[in-house]
Amino acid sequence: MTETSAAVLAGREVRLISRPHGLPTADNFAVVERALPALDEEQVLVRNLVMSVDPYMRGRMNDTPSYVPPFQLDQALDGGAVGEVIDSRSDALHVGDLVLHGLGWRDYAVGAAGGFRCLDAEAATPLSAHLGVLGMPGLTAYAGLLEVAAMKAGDVVFVSGAAGAVGSMAGQIAKLKGASRVIGSAGSAAKVEHVLGLGFDAAFDYKQGPVRRQLRDAAPDGIDVYFDNVGGEHLEAAIGSLRLHGRVVLCGAISAYNETTAAPGPRNLALAIGKRLTLRGFIVNDHNHLRSVFTDEVSAWVREGRLRWEQTTVQGLENAPEAFIGLLRGENTGKMIVELSGGAT
Ligand code: NDP
244-299 pLDDT tens trace? 999 999 999 999 999 999 888 899 999 999 999 999 999 999 999 999 999 999 99
pLDDT at 342: 53
Give strand pairing partners of 227: 159, 249
Average pLDDT, the chain: 95
Position 121 scores a pLDDT of 67
Ligand 1 pocket: which of 160, 166, 228 to mutate (most atoms <8 Å of CB)? 166
Q: CATH 1.10.10.10: does it fit domain 3-129+311-339? A: no
What pLDDT, in 10s, does the model give residues 68-82? 999 999 999 999 999
Question: Quick check: 54 and 80 in contact, CB under 8 A?
Answer: yes
User: Residue 124: what pLDDT?
Assistant: 53
* 119-150 pLDDT tens trace: 986 665 789 999 999 999 999 999 999 999 99
Our CA dihedral for 57, 62, 211, 169, rounded to 10 degrees, sits at 10
Q: Which residues neighbour 186 within 8 Å (Cβ) at sequence distance 6 or greater?
A: 161, 162, 163, 164, 167, 192, 194, 195, 203, 205, 206
**What pLDDT is stored for residue 9 in this prediction?**
82
Query: What DSSP designation does 40 have?
Result: P
Ligand 1 centroid, distance to 337 Cα (angstroms):
14
- pLDDT in the model for residue 345: 36
For residue 344, name the pLDDT band (cuts at 50, 70, 90): very low
Chain segment 26-56, per-residue pLDDT in tens: 999 999 999 999 999 999 999 999 999 999 9
Nearest to 182 by CA among 153, 202, 204: 202
The answer, yes or no, to whether any atom of ligand 1 lies below 6 A from the CB of 330, is: yes
CA of 196 to the centre of ligand 1 (A): 18
**Span from the CA of 234 to the centroid of ligand 1 (angstroms):** 12
Domain 136-286 CATH superfamily:
NAD(P)-binding Rossmann-like Domain (3.40.50.720)
pLDDT of 5 over the 70 cut: no
pLDDT for 123 equals 61
Residues facing 44 on adjacent strands: 88, 111
User: What per-residue confidence (pLDDT) applies to 136?
Assistant: 98
CA-nearest of 323, 55, 257 to 166 is: 55
What are the residues whose beta carbons fall under 8 Å from the beta carbon of 55, sequence distance 6 or more? 252, 254, 257, 327, 328
Closest residue by CA, ligand 1 atom 10: 330
Instruction: For 86-127, write each residue's pLDDT tens digit.
Output: 999 999 999 999 999 999 999 999 999 999 999 986 665 789
Does the N-terminal peptide bond of residue 70 adopt cis geometry, omega within 30 degrees of 0? Answer: no
> How does DSSP classify residue 334?
B
The pLDDT of residue 319 is above 90: yes
Phi (first) and psi of residue 71, to 5 degrees: -65, 145
Which phi and psi (to 5°) does residue 284 adopt?
A: -55, -35
Residues 6+ apart with CB under 8 A from 344: 9, 10, 11, 47, 107, 108
Per-residue pLDDT band at 2 (split at 50, 70, 90): very low
Rounded to an integer, what distance in angstroms lies between the CA atom of residue 230 and that of residue 234?
Answer: 7
- Index of the ligand 1 atom closest to the CA of residue 206: 20
Q: Considering only CA atoms, give the Rg of the chain.
A: 21
What is the residue with the minimal CA distance to atom 13 of ligand 1? 330
pLDDT band at 7 (very low <50, low <70, confident <90, very high): low
pLDDT attached to residue 12: 97
**Is the per-residue pLDDT at 178 higher than 70?**
yes
Q: Phi, psi (5° rounding) for residue 250? A: -85, 90
* Ligand 1 proximity of 332 Cβ (cutoff 6 Å): yes
From its phi and psi, is residue 247 left (phi > 0), alpha (psi between -120 and 50) or beta? beta
Measured CA to CA in angstroms, residue 140 lies from 28, 136, 240 at distances of 28, 6, 25
Q: Work out the average pLDDT over 195-206.
A: 98
Give first-to-last CA distance, the chain, whole Å. Answer: 18
The answer to pTM > 0.85 is yes
Amino acid 341: pLDDT: 75
Domain spans of the chain, in order of start = 3-129+311-339, 136-286
